[in-house]
Structure 1
Amino acid sequence: MCAGSAPAYATAESAAIAALAQTPADITVTGRVIDETGGGLPGVNVVVKGTSNGTSTDPEGRYTITAPDNGTLVFSFVGYNPQEVAIGGRTTIDINLAPNTQALGEVVVTGYGTQSKRDLTGAVARVEGTEIVNQPVQTATQALQGKIAGVQITNNGAPNSQPVVRIRGTGTLLAGANPLYVVDGVQTTDIRNLSNADIATIDVLKDASAAAIYGVRGANGVIIITTKQGKEGKPVLSYSATGGFKQAARLVDMASADQYVNYLGDVSPTTNIPDFSGTTNWYDEILRRSTFQNHNLAVSGASENVRYYFSGNLLQDDGIVINNRFKRLTVRSNTAFDLSDKVTISSQASFSHANTRDVNIGAAYGNAYRASPIIAAKMGDRYGNTSAFGNVGNPLLDIEKNNNKSLENRLQSTFAVDVKPVTALTLRSAINLDLNYNNRRVYDYQYRNDEVTFLTSGGNQRVDRSNLNVTQNNNFRYLWENTATFQQRFLDKHDLTVLVGTVVEQGFDNQFSAARRDVPVDPNQWYLNAGDPNSSVNASEASKDSRLSYLGRINYAFLDRYLFTTNLRHDATSRFNRDRRNGFFPSVGLGWVISDEAFLKGNTILNFLKLRASYGQLGNDQIPANSYIVTANANIPYVFNGQPVLGATITDIKDQDVRWETTTEYDFAVEFGLLDNRLTGEVTYYDKTTSDALIPINIPGILGDPNNQFITNAADITNQGVEAALNWRTNIGESPDWSYNIGVNATFNKNRIAELNGGQALFAGGVNGTVTRSDNGVAAGSFYLLDAIGVYQSADEIVSGPRSTFDPKVGDLKYADKNGDGVVDLLDRSYFGSYQPPIYYGINGGLNFRNVDFSFVFSGNLNNKVYNAKKQARNASTDNVEASFADDRWTATNPTNSDPRALISSMPNSTYFLESGSFMRLTNVVVGYTVPVAALERFRMTSFRVFAAAQNVFTVTNYSGFTPELAGGPLDSGIELNSYPISRTITLGLNVNFK
């Protein structure tokens, strides 16, 4: 043996020890898998990567598995993104699985049933409730902005305001343009009573094929909202809270006292300037940083035969205008009982109580734009008398001397019985109720300007007698639905689902209003009988409508790749006369899943490819219930045989043949998934035409109608466009700790009025006359204006140019003689675009690192127009102006060709006030942290997440006003005059679940 060499047995032992050290040791790994709500996720597959060794989670989401200490666990579950986690010697591994909202196999609600998205032949988009619950908004539709191609949402900053939703463009001019909402079967046009925390999913039916099952109610698209149900397992107690503040997202700089006085020197040199030091910023006086809070408490669970979900929600939104506030309490009960394996009864019910104090935004906010900055808003208990200065009324006085409160109680409920006499057949009967009771009291305080104002007496801002106005609105609507659904797979090749049913609907609306003067100032005495009976004014109105519908649908799939769907619906409505009330609305859709064909099997790039095409028709009867009924006004005094008597007379003319608006739509699309479905997308072309659209037709005044017009079917409207959506979702590198997703969607829409069929153009909106004109060949609500081409620089230029009927002076705007007749007048108006954007888009993204999550949403418009009417509205020479105009206006020493001279009255409607409506807004951003489950066990918590969220963070736009996002009707959107400012909201929140 050589010196220094180890014995042979020692070398062998060392080698054995080294080999043993490198051999993985099996360990027992335990943990819990939770879903996006923090609840345990049962049935999740847990497999050691590269082996067949696996298990699944129990009803509480817990698992136990034996695996090598250096192995990798793979967690997978249908509808969720799979995760791979390196064990690294750990014996406890908790996982939070994120839902795959782009999963091609997800099941969506299609109306009176569900269907795999893979098998759809119509245009349906889904948003999970988890994507909206943490956003600091009142309604779910606000949170949808920028998330779905083809869906344009225009928000309003006022508390309890309802967003304007347009699906694939504006398809009507006078009838209801909003989509139909279906909440657990209850059909409505208003979901402001719904708590976002109760929402499980939102499915948007965009095309006629998908929405045809709703017939007369689906012409403007359908948004189906499904609320949460209990999951099997132990009861789960959930609490979520959000709190923060709101402030105006964007304000306009108004002229300071010095700029204003300089401006007055030009426009009204003889004005007596009051002795006032400083500048009154009227926005500082009427706006504030307000609070926002939202609390939700829920308990849910399920046993073998019972499922339940109970919740309570408190939301408070104090608007950014002083004295404005909104508070809503909502309670919900969702239950289901399996009486046997063949019979299930279920119910969903929600009750909401809302308390709102509104402000007169026109008088307050509109006046704040024009109020003089050299008059104090208030000194002590006395208000600055802007009115006596020849100015608008004091905005602060408008708000503080008016108390406008409403109380609203609303109950929505569904009670259903499902019976399965045989496995393939389900019979369902459901009663859906919607009851809404609204009471509003508006009290105007008595005040005289010589009692409560300083500076001087006089002016016209006064209320000599207090006034109380009370309004009661009671609405009741029910739907009784009966359906039979047959679903069967034959010979492992044919999938057939057949649905037939009937729907009976009836609604009752009753409104009463009354007013009296001299009601005492004490709120405890704000009752009509406390006022002067001789000043009493009363009015009432009631209406009733009903519908009877028959519906049917066939879904058929051959070999899971050749798809066919047809919907048939027959509606009868009381809103039209007997000869016109019946309508038949069919649709058909075809689909081909090409990726299942043999010639594409085995490719590693294309995972999914489907072509689909559809055709369908829908109706719209959203007009007043008495639109075709000639009515008489009663109790009209006249003299008969020399004696005063009360009689009745017919004062309006109505078309008794008024009928449905009918929407016909074609839809062609391709859907795809690439690279293990990390990249998914959809491109759709649609062509939608609304025929027989309702419009007013002018009639000779000699016929006696006070409006000189009647409503009839006399227009066609087209919307043609392309929707595109792309989504990418993957991990970063090989690490399962990092993942991200990015999605973009864009809609290209062209809206046109195709034919007025003998009708006249429709005018709407504006300050000095109307600014929109809807006519053949242009978009609905197109701006119809004079073309401002500069500023007159000299008297010679006025004389040498076309004669103008607007009597221009040096420094006034110069308008183009469009028709070339040598005269500038209203005949020279022409079209300059519309508020309807030809392009609108959304960008969504997220980043996750272990327990930290980050998400954002951008939304915006391109190439649309907005009209800055507030700049045009001039009530008097003492009205304030924007700081930029005060500095840049035309003067003899500043001969600009952009802005006119100082003026004392409103200028004609022109392109000078027309601006770009394009914008991009960071609509929402959320950063959250989820505490590891292991740290929560001692507190009996199953999840704990904290987050920060911001809404309307910033807006990139060239528009000079408060916001380019301007809601309105089909004929007058995009006009900023007295709009409530969009607010920026910053909040902190938490979500916690207890076992």
Structure 2
Amino acid sequence: MENISLHQQLQRRVVLLAGLLVLLFFRSALAEMPQAGGPRAGAPPIRITGKVTDGTSTVGIPGVTIQVKGTTTGTVTDGTGAFTIQAEDNATLIFSSIGYQKIEIAVGGRTTINVPLVEDTKSLNEVVVVGYGTQRKSDVTGATVTIKGDELIKQPVLTATQALQGKAAGVQIISSGQPGSSPVVRIRGTGSALGGTAALFVVDGVLTDDISNINTADIVNVDVLKDASATAIYGSRGANGVVIITTKRGTVGKMTVNYTGNAGFRIPSYLVPMANSTEYANYVSAATGNIVSPGTTSTDWYKQILRNGFQQNHGISINGGTEKSTYFLSAGYYTDQGLVIDNQYKRFSIRANNDFTFNKYVKLGISASYANGDNQIANLGTAYNDAYRAAPIIQSKVNGKYGNTSVYQNVGNPILDIENNNNHATDNRLLGSAYLEIKPVDWITYRTNIGGDWVNLNTREYNYQFNNDTTTFINAGGNQRNPNSNLKFINTRTFHWTWDNLITFNKKFDKHALTVLVGTTAEKYTLTSFTAFRKDVPAAQNLWYINTGNANTSTNDGSGDQYNRNSYIGRVNYNYNDKYLFTATIRADGSSRFPAQNRWGYFPSVGAGWVISNESFMANQQIFDMLKVRASWGKVGNDRIPTDAYTVTVAPNLAYPFGGGIATPGSAITQIKDPNVKWETTEEADLGVEFTALNGKLTGEVNYYNKKSRDLLINVKVPSVSGDADGVVLTNAASIQNQGFEFTLNWRGKITNDLSYRIGGNATLNQNKVIGLNGGQPILDGGIGANQQYTTRTDNGQPVGSFYVLQVLGVFQNADEIANYKNASGQVIQPSANAGDFKYQDTNGDGKIDDNDRVFAGSYQPKAYFGLNLGLTYKSFDLSVDLYGNVGNQIYNGKRAFRQSALDNVEKSVAYKRWSAGSGIQTEPAANSGNLPPFYLLH
């Protein structure tokens, strides 16, 4: 059965590739057909070749469109900037590319034409993507940033969002590094406590929360909408920012083929230095008073479970077409082994984007992508924990048998944690959209766009049976065993569709330009999940099915979700003489996630801009090519709450003992819910300055923003109606503020005609603060270890998730220090302490150390983060370096809380820098026989 399954997988991919080849053949045939409007009858065309280069160097520009003026004949440059085209000897060629000035060149009988394009230094005609449309960059009044796909593809990463890291001010990318995982995109700070905080993705008009299926090589641009003025057009989905992804489409001309690829290794770095056998033996001996032998083995458990992970990414694309039909087709293959043994992710993806122009009134387009992900998931959590605690004097694995770490301590062998748990997930995802565009007249466009995102995820978790005997372990004994094998299957299916109907009015008259957008959008999301579990499933992989296990151990479960949204949108853009800009947006959103009385939310925004460089008084200045000041204000919403947040449900199969003491099954309401739950809303003001200077060499932007999120959902403590205990209710009772500055500066220079360089940097200063809980209870979180309870507290006046800990004043050096550490009343504060223990601050002065003495000690959120981007180009060679970092954030060292016994290992710094009598050390306590005290905060 295993061979059949593998065969089916191979067969599926062969069929997909075969279908792709057939489609390529069909499109290629169309592209080669004679086109109407070509060279005039009887005139022999000539073959013209050449190269299009950047005006600042001899580097070729790929993707430049070349059109024979007055005809439908055209082509595009290849990856080196080279082109070939057929035209009459007296024809005129038009060369155009985004970011460069369009140029017309007469053929004049020449067969070789080399063309340098001049960069559009003012960027006034550069088009950027905004919500449900495009605008000239100079006309945008909101805070947006565009990153070219050519920059993203240089990064060897799974998703385009990972490649964004350090390239855009105000944008944080938080990645776990685990193969197949999607990073968190946080735009201008955390704006919610319990609601969703992730940014919205829009891929070719389809709204989604995950782009791990998108091949980065297929992307033209990524446009990030940061402020409420820019995101208000997305209403309920725009509270956390919007990332719009535009994929490549076909271009007029003969078929071109492009390949992109990279390969390399991910190498573990900054590993926790752990004590070796000698250091471990010395520490344990000091902690317990019993001499421990270091033995002959010194095992580095992290090195046993980590490796250099091989990563590769390959993609091939084909595009071309005619004035009537263009196509873009691609296929990609990505693999990432990861740093942990037995961990690997693979993704196969294909894409087809087609556009059809029937006449000047009607246009049709189709986009479709399919991705198959295959993820072998290592048991990371348990393995990392055990690798931190396991004694280095135990052998790791010899001749197929595992070292029995639990002989000395209650710790499992980290290698066994991984190798005897087979977790595997496969997902199939289809993302597609289709649009119909009708232009009855030049200034009116009707566009309908329907898209769907379908995901089928299958997860299989198999745990092998193993005992604590000599068939498994080098030394028998201990408690690391699994007496029964078990198997769990989880099948999850989601489907999300969106449908937009938009009318755009675009009219220019005299010095006035007016664009009006009106329309409706609708979407629906459904999720179903089913889980099946059984024990005693055979170890042979071809028998890993639920029906092969013990039916008496079977358990099943299921869940699901469903919600709808319906919206009405409107936007007005006004431009007077390319100097004065105005934008106004309104969106009305209805969401089924709220009760009927609060179902609709209304989200407006306004923005204004002044292009100072176009004023007459700026005509003679020689510094600024473009200088613009803009200001905006807007409101957006957030409905990412549980669908049943306001619906009281009854829990079945509960046992209740009546007077006779006999438990009777029944049902009861176990939750307290607010029937008036309403929208979370974010109000934001933004002020910005943009400029291009010194003939396009220097560009920059400065932004100030003030974003306040209100009516945030938190848990509020309420008295229990039963009198058993107090309960909590989820309700709108909190507010959070993010305010800060963003700075961006880029410089492009040329050393010689062949050698050019670029230097860019950005920085963000952000202050996050809870500005009102309105009767809600502070949110305690960050529980670590068995005895550490919580480590963070979200409360008024503090950043979200602030660390709330005891403050360390040092280490008690002797009994006199302990006896003399008293409060104002003369009460000894830590009477049970010993020399070598941490000395904690009695914050409230009550003469004892408890949770009331905790203090706020910073947050995981950085006060500033930055990126530095460097590039050097010599002819056709390019070198890029991207650096990023953050400052002002705190990291809680919670690893020590997992140390549970005197025989657990310790970090090397603890072994070397621990306190001993007469040492005077104030940073590390004495050798400890149990949980290590956490390193909270030194005075």
Which residue of structure 2 aligns with residue 920 of structure 1? none
Whole-Å Cα distance in 2 between the matches of residues 714 and 587 of structure 1?
24
Is 2:398 the counterpart of 1:379? yes
Which residue of structure 2 aligns with residue 748 of structure 1? 765
The one-letter code sitting in structure 2 at the alignment partner of 1:355 is D
Which residue of structure 2 aligns with residue 549 of structure 1? 567
Whole-Å Cα distance in 2 between the matches of residues 805 and 799 of structure 1?
8
Is 2:865 the counterpart of 1:845? no
SS at match of 1:264: helix
Q: Which runs of 5+ in 2 are unaligned?
A: 1-46, 86-93, 104-109, 823-827
SS at match of 2:415: helix
Which residue of structure 2 aligns with residue 608 of structure 1? 626
TM-score, normalization by structure 2:
0.87
Is 2:502 the counterpart of 1:479? no
Whole-Å Cα distance in 2 between the matches of residues 227 and 705 of structure 1?
57
- Does the CA-based 8 Å contact 1:717-1:755 persist in structure 2? yes
- Does the CA-based 8 Å contact 2:66-2:95 persist in structure 1? no
Pair 1:390–1:323, CA change in 2 (3 A): same
SS at match of 1:721: strand
- Which deviates more, 376-385 or 573-582? 376-385
Residue of 345, 350, 355 corresponding to 2:364: 345
Give the alignment of 1:360-509 within 5 angstroms: 360-454=379-473, 456-491=475-510, 493-509=511-527
1:684-716 deviation digits (Å, cap 9, x = unpaired): 110000001111112345548999322111100
1:510-538 deviation digits (Å, cap 9, x = unpaired): 11112111111111111111111111111
SS at match of 1:130: helix
Residue of 27, 41, 49 corresponding to 2:64: 41
Whole-Å Cα distance in 2 between the matches of residues 449 and 913 of structure 1?
44
Is 2:244 the counterpart of 1:213? no
Whole-Å Cα distance in 2 between the matches of residues 848 and 75 of structure 1?
23
Pair 1:338–1:908, CA change in 2 (3 A): same
SS at match of 2:256: strand
Whole-Å Cα distance in 2 between the matches of residues 325 and 186 of structure 1?
29
Pair 1:909–1:602, CA change in 2 (3 A): same
TM-superposed deviation, 1:265? 0.7
Whole-Å Cα distance in 2 between the matches of residues 139 and 244 of structure 1?
17
Is 2:781 the counterpart of 1:758? no
Which residue of structure 2 aligns with residue 726 of structure 1? 745
- Which deviates more, 888-897 or 785-794? 888-897
1:481-525 deviation digits (Å, cap 9, x = unpaired): 11101111012x111111011111111111111211111111111
Which residue of structure 2 aligns with residue 359 of structure 1? 378
Whole-Å Cα distance in 2 between the matches of residues 704 and 79 of structure 1?
69
Whole-Å Cα distance in 2 between the matches of residues 411 and 712 of structure 1?
36
Which residue of structure 2 aligns with residue 937 of structure 1? none
Pair 1:100–1:434, CA change in 2 (3 A): farther
SS at match of 1:534: strand
Is 2:892 the counterpart of 1:904? no
Pair 1:77–1:543, CA change in 2 (3 A): closer
Is 2:576 the counterpart of 1:536? no
Whole-Å Cα distance in 2 between the matches of residues 672 and 580 of structure 1?
43
Residue of 768, 793, 808 corresponding to 1:773: 793
SS at match of 1:159: coil
TM-superposed deviation, 1:268? 2.0
Residue of 805, 809, 830 corresponding to 1:789: 809
Which residue of structure 2 aligns with residue 591 of structure 1? 609
1:896-935 deviation digits (Å, cap 9, x = unpaired): 1121111133345552499xxxxxxxxxxxxxxxxxxxxx
Is 2:709 the counterpart of 1:690? yes
Which residue of structure 1 aligns with residue 32 of structure 2? none
Whole-Å Cα distance in 1 between the matches of residues 345 and 705 of structure 2?
40
- Does the CA-based 8 Å contact 1:635-1:646 persist in structure 2? yes
SS at match of 2:552: helix
Pair 1:62–1:404, CA change in 2 (3 A): closer
Whole-Å Cα distance in 1 between the matches of residues 424 and 473 of structure 2?
29
Is 2:581 the counterpart of 1:582? no
SS at match of 2:925: coil
Whole-Å Cα distance in 2 between the matches of residues 695 and 519 of structure 1?
43
- Does the CA-based 8 Å contact 2:398-2:474 persist in structure 1? no
SS at match of 1:212: helix
Pair 1:368–1:912, CA change in 2 (3 A): farther
TM-superposed deviation, 1:872? 3.5
Q: Count matched residues.
A: 860
Whole-Å Cα distance in 1 between the matches of residues 48 and 349 of structure 2?
43
Which residue of structure 1 aligns with residue 165 of structure 2? 145
SS at match of 1:539: strand
Whole-Å Cα distance in 1 between the matches of residues 288 and 112 of structure 2?
81
Pair 1:45–1:81, CA change in 2 (3 A): farther
Which residue of structure 2 aligns with residue 935 of structure 1? none
Identity %: 46
Pair 1:646–1:742, CA change in 2 (3 A): same
Whole-Å Cα distance in 2 between the matches of residues 819 and 92 of structure 1?
84
- Does the CA-based 8 Å contact 1:267-1:902 persist in structure 2? yes
Is 2:251 the counterpart of 1:231? yes
TM-superposed deviation, 1:415? 1.2
Which residue of structure 1 aligns with residue 203 of structure 2? 183
Which residue of structure 2 aligns with residue 819 of structure 1? 844
TM-superposed deviation, 1:192? 0.7
Whole-Å Cα distance in 2 between the matches of residues 439 and 909 of structure 1?
40
The one-letter code sitting in structure 2 at the alignment partner of 1:834 is S
Is 2:677 the counterpart of 1:652? no
- Does the CA-based 8 Å contact 1:353-1:407 persist in structure 2? yes
TM-superposed deviation, 1:649? 2.1
Residue of 286, 309, 317 corresponding to 1:298: 317
Is 2:697 the counterpart of 1:678? yes
Pair 1:260–1:533, CA change in 2 (3 A): same
Pair 1:520–1:59, CA change in 2 (3 A): closer
Whole-Å Cα distance in 1 between the matches of residues 121 and 215 of structure 2?
21
Pair 1:575–1:446, CA change in 2 (3 A): same
The one-letter code sitting in structure 1 at the alignment partner of 2:166 is G
Give the alignment of 1:105-116 within 5 angstroms: 105-116=125-136
Is 2:543 the counterpart of 1:525? yes
Higher relative contact order (CA 8 A, sep 6+): 1
- Does the CA-based 8 Å contact 1:81-1:100 persist in structure 2? yes
Give the alignment of 1:68-83 within 5 angstroms: 79-80=99-100
- Which deviates more, 581-590 or 625-634? 625-634
Which residue of structure 2 aligns with residue 948 of structure 1? none
Q: For the aligned residues, what is the CA RMSD?
A: 2.8
Whole-Å Cα distance in 2 between the matches of residues 819 and 94 of structure 1?
78
SS at match of 2:65: coil
Is 2:265 the counterpart of 1:245? yes
The one-letter code sitting in structure 1 at the alignment partner of 2:467 is R
SS at match of 1:387: helix
Residue of 737, 756, 781 corresponding to 1:739: 756
1:146-165 deviation digits (Å, cap 9, x = unpaired): 00001011221210112121
- Does the CA-based 8 Å contact 1:806-1:825 persist in structure 2? no
Whole-Å Cα distance in 2 between the matches of residues 523 and 862 of structure 1?
48
Is 2:861 the counterpart of 1:836? yes
The one-letter code sitting in structure 1 at the alignment partner of 2:797 is G
- Does the CA-based 8 Å contact 2:534-2:553 persist in structure 1? yes
Whole-Å Cα distance in 1 between the matches of residues 724 and 226 of structure 2?
39
Whole-Å Cα distance in 1 between the matches of residues 446 and 291 of structure 2?
80
Is 2:819 the counterpart of 1:799? yes
TM-superposed deviation, 1:807? 3.3
Whole-Å Cα distance in 2 between the matches of residues 559 and 98 of structure 1?
25
Whole-Å Cα distance in 1 between the matches of residues 830 and 671 of structure 2?
36
SS at match of 1:535: strand
TM-superposed deviation, 1:42? 3.0
- Does the CA-based 8 Å contact 2:228-2:636 persist in structure 1? yes
SS at match of 1:182: strand
Whole-Å Cα distance in 1 between the matches of residues 111 and 876 of structure 2?
19
TM-superposed deviation, 1:651? 1.5
TM-superposed deviation, 1:406? 0.5
